[in-house]
Amino acid sequence: MNVIEIENLTKYYGKSRGIVDVSFNVEEGEIFGFIGPNGAGKSTTIRTLLSLIYPTSGSATIFGKDCIKFAPEIAKEVGYLPSEVFYYDKMKVIDLLKYAASFYKKDCSKRIKELAEIMDLDLKKRIDDLSFGNKKKVGIVQGLLHEPKLIILDEPTSGLDPLMQQKFFDLLLEENKKGATILLSSHVLSEVQRLCSRVAIIKDGKIIRLEKISDLTEHNYKKFKIEMKEEIGKDYFELGGINNLEIKGNKVSFLFKGNINLMINKLSDVEITNILIEEPSLEEIFIHYYEKEA
């Protein structure tokens, strides 16, 4: 079953492009990554899904229900962490969270305490005494306190230190194990790689790829790092399937997609002193995608 279905969603802000013909689905129980460079259209897609802004054309459903018509009903089962959080500064953290919890028809006080403990958040402090990272934690607790079935996170880790990021990821994995579906927007590729099973890549408002992370990393490319006994010319590597070729003296690195035996045979011509064949990072794969699509 698809928890989110997005069909040809387009949003123009006046004449300027937000997103164009965005379509993808997120399946139940999935952790789905939504990645792209700044201004690509991630927040616009998410805000449209949550009915915070209205699309110019196209449609979207959450839990099989139209996002605009059923927005209040859907909101009860969705946890949302916006990319920037703004609060009434004078409130205490606990009061703000209790207020947020009052929108749901269940007692969230135990969960608030648990989440605050996990995220190391002082509930007694006033919002305006909190650092940027601690305000982000308030947003995280607010997004998760009602144990939503769908969690939508827009650039969630900016401002969190590495230890907190890890705790937050563990928390998301736990929520996912309990059954929550997660849509995570990010431009930090390594976090998408760690958490997500599938990914949509957006650029200039359009989806340019929709892939399984495992297909991207395992089946598509291998990264070769080779040290030769002698320097070798660029021409030698003029071969189908080679991308991101870099030659520095007798050291060569590239991404290769294709029959690995052909590459091994090719390399048997030259004297190699060291070789490393590894999975490329998503960063390396995507930089290549972006360049190709540009």
Ligand X SMILES: Nc1ncnc2c1ncn2[C@@H]1O[C@H](COP(=O)(O)OP(=O)(O)OP(=O)(O)O)[C@@H](O)[C@H]1O
Burial degree of 73 (CB within 10 A; 0-12, 13-18, 19+): exposed
**Interaction pattern, residues 145-184, with ligand X; x per rule: CB under 6 A:** ----------------------------------------
Measured between alpha carbons, how far is residue 182 from residues 46, 78, 100 in Å? 12, 10, 20
CB-based contact 51:71 (threshold 8 Å): yes
Report how far Cα 112 is from the mean position of its chain's Cα atoms.
25
> Segment near ligand X (CB under 6 A), from 12-20, 88-96, 120-128, 224-232?
12-20
Phi, psi of 2 (to 5 degrees): -90, 125
In whole angstroms, the minimum distance from the beta carbon of 194 to ligand X comes to 19
In whole angstroms, the minimum distance from the beta carbon of 9 to ligand X comes to 12
Regarding 187 and contact with ligand X (CB under 6 A), the answer is yes
- The single residue listed with the structure tokens 């005494």 is 129
In whole angstroms, the minimum distance from the beta carbon of 127 to ligand X comes to 23
Closer to ligand X by Cβ: residue 154 or 222 = 154
How many residues in the shown chain lie near ligand X by CB under 6 A? Answer: 13
Closer to ligand X by Cβ: residue 84 or 174 = 84
**CA–CA distance, 285 with 244 (Å, rounded to integer):** 9
Site for ligand X in 24-53 (CB under 6 A): 36, 38-44
Regarding 15 and contact with ligand X (CB under 6 A), the answer is no
Site for ligand X in 54-83 (CB under 6 A): 83
Q: Which two tokens stand for residue 62?
A: 């959450």
**CA–CA distance, 10 with 207 (Å, rounded to integer):** 12
Positions that interact with ligand X (CB under 6 A): 13, 16, 18, 36, 38-44, 83, 187
